[in-house]
Amino acid sequence: MLDLLPDLFDHYGSELTLIPANWQSYGAKRIFYGEVVTVKCFEDNSKVKSTLATAGKGKVLVVDGGGVCRRALLGDMIAESAANNEWEGIIIFGAVRDVGTLLTIGIGVQALSANPIKTEKKDVGLVNINIEIAGVSVKPAMMIYADENGIAVTEKPLDLAVLS
């Protein structure tokens, strides 16, 4: 499968909410989906790192960095940790770095842009709270679906068997 969202919107348009932003794909997995886990932080990726160091099978981390791209909230070492812990993907409403290496890691990564500057580590941020990205409410335990066409959320899992 090369595209997911167009088919999902054809079958489940009324159940999906598109998160309208200029997303860029940076990970090796171009299509990913899973249960939402959230982090809200500002120019400090401590909570991103600690969350992705836990088991993540079937989950996608959605990071609300406020859309600020002055520092990267994700780099290659944290992405590698996430892949090793079986996370499906990471969505950063902000910037990432190490983009050449991210393309080699078996995880989905989408973000607004790239920036080579790392964050400071102050252990500041909130985990598993309701966040808002580009005017769309994203809550823990929602489902999120991503491909190179965009990113969309639903309240409950969709039956992907209808796409076969």
Confidence (pTM): 0.97
Q: Is 90 helix (H, G, I), strand (E, B) or coil?
A: strand
pLDDT score for 132: 98
Give the span between the Cα atoms of 132 and 17, in whole angstroms.
Answer: 12
pLDDT score for 153: 98
Mean pLDDT per 10-residue interval, the chain, length 164 residues? 94 97 97 98 98 98 98 98 98 98 98 97 97 98 98 97 86
Give the span between the Cα atoms of 110 and 10, in whole angstroms.
Answer: 23
155, burial (CB in 10 Å: exposed 0-12, middle 13-18, buried 19+): exposed
Give the span between the Cα atoms of 39 and 84, in whole angstroms.
Answer: 19
What's the Rg (C-alpha) of the chain?
Answer: 14
Structure-token match 């406020």, residue found: 66
Q: How far is CA 22 from CA 67, 108, 128, 135, in A?
A: 11, 16, 24, 14
